[in-house]
Structure 1
């Protein structure tokens, strides 16, 4: 096993057979934290954004906060109900992309795919950047290095997901459940205190908020509508991640659709309860919260706050007040909240690779994205997502306030097209369905999807109107870029398929085969290549040597005559000491002399067993093959010669393959007799 194999084994674990794919499927208790962490983590920043938007016109507008929370909850309920129809109708894992493609056409499907790709990348960037800011607040050494910290966290998540969805899910399950317990427990205790009239105030309750310039006058009806629309659109960030389950249905245990639908319902109930509870408690506890870059708008008794004033997040302020006499409770809530913000990116690491593999199958993405890795995860998709997220984090210096403006545009584009596609789906099936009970079920499902479309369409319009100039245009531009790339890739694959289609001319044999064997020295690899070329019985066969030194050439010619191979040796003189160019030009000249024939170039190559030996051999052969690949009518044949180091490496690999590993007997991969024989051999 080479250094590369050892490193992969340490980082990723032992390889899994394709037949073990069933072992990686997720039960609901693991699937919930795997696919719901993104939607649940929005509780950590969606309330903050709602209060920031309302604070534009001063703290008096906080009276609308709980109503906005209810509106967001209604939209989430509609979306959850709609996606439950999706997972039953399209359980293959294509999610919104498949729904839009099947029912609305290829263009709509590509639009959805580009929107989801942008959303997944932003999910990782926003969640990790937010987690990095929590880390910087707790560890002073990380301050002003948030982008570096975030990039490292992305790489760690990438490594975890490369180990397989089940392993990463089991690892992330505990923090996600702890987060649910922390937030729900904190809110439940807060409501109990509120019922008894002992609910404390948060640390910012005694502050005043000065409205932003232009918002200090009494609001008109239109102005109030604009303010509420902005707050509502920011609160709708809580809906991101809902679509991940529809894309991850294949990862569930059977019955896949039923388990996915149940997980969706649990996600909706938990997320709605958490976000509504946090917003209501924050309002009742007197929270005052503004944009972190506008702290000068906060005052206490008409006086400006000190320069070192630190505005804590909404959840942190609530936790500090509720657990004022129990500091471990406060630290527990804040810690698990910071962790869940990092782990929220795991939802994208599960959704993006699956979507990428489906796009690859449809010819809209590089086919490498459809290949499973050693641990049966879509490794290339995971790595690609990590690199794109890191690029975004570095470009925006891990500032959440900038990245959040790009957020949720893509996901609501996919929401709308998906619901429209589902309406078309039910309408098409109703035209042929005659069973009354089944027709009633389909009509009920169509109504649910129609309600979902109505809600998401309103939200999309609001988001575009309120966030376009604030940065949403970048997300739209990125969606257009992905759309163009997918269209270009599809066009390329279609063009290549057309060129490769077999026709009658492909059965015509070449009129002549001129074989040349490249000679550097007259040693065993060269003699093997000469023998192999002779065995193929070409019309013409000759050795070719590039002369760059007269003494070496004379010595080779003398050895060639002494060996008496019966094959002529062609010497190509190279006054400028080039080796590759003379051979390419000679092969091209032979081809021009006989356009209907082919030139077969045999290249002797060493096979080595140690990674560092690769740099010491075959470099000229690699360059030559790269050049000859572009020469029409020229065939390149590698003739390997195994050095002793390659045999040692092969023996080591064989011993590794025969080794009985823990659990092999239980899984039926080795018989009891072979197990005993292996132990006996070891003794």
Structure 2
């Protein structure tokens, strides 16, 4: 199984290398490739949605298009400011947690995870539909299996690590941007005179619309067309969510990435809308407006024949391929938000862990599961997927901007600069609310499904948090009854290698410590029964790389120092029992693999009387316990060590939780 895993996912890096975190951080260009697919994918269907919502009115198309570009700029600037104030990632979830309360943040985080999963589903299904349109009719029946297989393939690619996925997807992005700018740029250069004429006709077109429908009806048409373009902005939050994968200095990298993330799609949308005006492309049933535009542009440039067909086929095939890349954003953002939720104990803690390839494997699998379930339950139908997708996006957009507005107003109380940020986020919140209302009115069923899904996920998260809190309180209570906590002296703990203070030929007890140090304090009360005849105790633990550890080597070293400080308190308690003690820590990604290798090294060449001791809690059963059960490290470690011929004792600590 290990060879198979390495064949599929690649070999694991050396986690002791100080440069290991370079494997999970990327520069500006690679970050744009990893995060920009979703927003670039809006160039495929966004202008088409605007064109159809305008009802063929040139004036509505121009005004709604300009409003859309302005909104894109406002939201991009708002999310850039979010990165400045919250540079450690987490996006709207982190902002809401600090400025709007944990419960509001939880709703935002759940909506972000839902957004990530449905982003993958929408992008993959759209890609499959685009491919089915140019394949023989019999391939249409394979849409659902093809979509499911594509989601699974993308999950495997991301399990190899973000750099691997960027290397595979970079040619798609470059082909998309290059083909669109080349073909449409050359075509517009030949019809440049038609654009000013089309713009000059806007006032007359709007006047005729107002005369036909009245001022209120004309305004309603404009607002509806503007709100229908909500899918264009999906993916703007990617940079604020994914700051941890950016290279230092992260804030500067985030600003430059956001400039590319929003600037390139804005340019492409402008070029496409200008092409609609220059070539008088109007909505036609069953014919994508982009396809009609490229056909007319190719005819203008090279006429018919092979060159004309290539001028149409290459950009359209690049569009279909780009939609696969758009799904990449979900696999970058979703696991990061799940990691933040897990750190706050709203999700199982394993969702914050990285695998041996330094990828958030559990989070990737959750996002893939959401995408697979959504695709299967809808039968790969695009309309219901888009409804839930866009609604969830603007739920989290609105909460994020509300939180940032509150944050700016709090800065006022601190006499810090606040007016510009408050005005920016108030404007962004207003725009998001208008688009959310328009989206909910257009897709009422989708809004209802989104509400139910978010409510169910929030209820599950609250149940998990209550369970974690109850077990933690029970462990602290049991530890307090067993022995008083020991607070180490405020001093730099001496770094002691494993066995340095213990005679080489003396039998030892290796105490394996997980996250719950309180359980170890309970177990130490029984130490005298376990250590008769032993020459010392080694406290063994792992420092795990997780979603927060990728903030940098210095952050990881600070985590290791904090971990050592915790163990020093236990070491002092052991010394009081009259036994020499040492501390052994090892850095790793997987708790079981890291701890097993550490214990195996510690027990090598030790006398047969040596033993390994672990602790496990046995709280009362709860409905969410099956989700948390595999975190019982000691039981799994015992089975692993026994296969290697190393005996281990697991002490069960009963908890009333």
Q: Normalising by structure 1, what TM-score? A: 0.66
Paired position in structure 1 for 2:76: 80
Paired position in structure 2 for 1:91: 87
User: Compared with structure 1, are the counterparts of its residues 95 and 338 closer, same or farther at alpha carbon in structure 2 (3 Å cutoff)?
Assistant: same
Q: Does 1:287 align with 2:284?
A: no
Do the aligned partners of 2:132 and 2:143 also contact (CA within 8 Å) in 1? yes
| 3-state SS in 2 of match to 1:84 | helix
> How many pairs are equivalent?
480
1:180 to 155, 177, 181: 177
Q: Distance in 2 between matches of 1:492 and 1:184?
A: 54
Q: Does 1:494 align with 2:450?
A: no
Do the aligned partners of 2:194 and 2:278 also contact (CA within 8 Å) in 1? no
Query: How do 1:302-381 residues align onto structure 2 when only pairs under 5 Å count?
Result: 311-324=286-299, 325=302, 326=307, 327-381=309-363
Do the aligned partners of 1:229 and 1:466 also contact (CA within 8 Å) in 2? no
User: Compared with structure 1, are the counterparts of its residues 640 and 83 closer, same or farther at alpha carbon in structure 2 (3 Å cutoff)?
Assistant: closer
Structure 1 gap ranges (5+): 200-214, 296-310, 434-438, 509-534, 539-627, 648-683
Query: How do 1:153-172 residues align onto structure 2 when only pairs under 5 Å count?
Result: 153-172=150-169
Q: Distance in 2 between matches of 1:462 and 1:392?
A: 23
1:106 Cα shift? 0.8
| 3-state SS in 2 of match to 1:365 | coil
Q: Distance in 2 between matches of 1:639 and 1:366?
A: 22
Q: Distance in 2 between matches of 1:365 and 1:395?
A: 24
Paired position in structure 2 for 1:244: 238
Paired position in structure 2 for 1:463: 439
Paired position in structure 1 for 2:544: none
Q: Distance in 2 between matches of 1:403 and 1:103?
A: 31
1:42 Cα shift? 0.8
Q: Distance in 1 between matches of 2:31 and 2:641?
A: 50
Residue deviations 1:499-523, cap 9 Å, x none?
A: 2223443359xxxxxxxxxxxxxxx
User: Compared with structure 1, are the counterparts of its residues 489 and 62 closer, same or farther at alpha carbon in structure 2 (3 Å cutoff)?
Assistant: farther
Do the aligned partners of 2:228 and 2:438 also contact (CA within 8 Å) in 1? no
Structure 2 gap ranges (5+): 197-208, 485-528, 533-616, 622-633, 646-657
| Greater radius of gyration (CA) | 1
User: Compared with structure 1, are the counterparts of its residues 195 and 186 closer, same or farther at alpha carbon in structure 2 (3 Å cutoff)?
Assistant: same
Paired position in structure 2 for 1:10: 7
Paired position in structure 2 for 1:557: none
Taking only aligned residues, the RMSD between alpha carbons, in angstroms, comes to: 3.0
1:218 Cα shift? 4.4
Residue deviations 1:623-669, cap 9 Å, x none?
A: xxxxx98999xx999799978xx79xxxxxxxxxxxxxxxxxxxxxx
Do the aligned partners of 1:407 and 1:472 also contact (CA within 8 Å) in 2? no
Paired position in structure 2 for 1:51: 51
| 3-state SS in 2 of match to 1:45 | helix
Paired position in structure 2 for 1:450: 426
1:381 Cα shift? 0.6
Do the aligned partners of 1:249 and 1:260 also contact (CA within 8 Å) in 2? yes
Q: Does 1:398 align with 2:371?
A: no
1:465 Cα shift? 2.7
Query: How do 1:393-432 residues align onto structure 2 when only pairs under 5 Å count?
Result: 393-432=375-414
User: Compared with structure 1, are the counterparts of its residues 412 and 638 closer, same or farther at alpha carbon in structure 2 (3 Å cutoff)?
Assistant: closer
1:505 to 481, 485, 490: 481
Q: Does 1:261 align with 2:246?
A: no
Paired position in structure 1 for 2:221: 227
Paired position in structure 1 for 2:32: 32
1:189 to 186, 190, 206: 186
| 3-state SS in 2 of match to 1:173 | helix
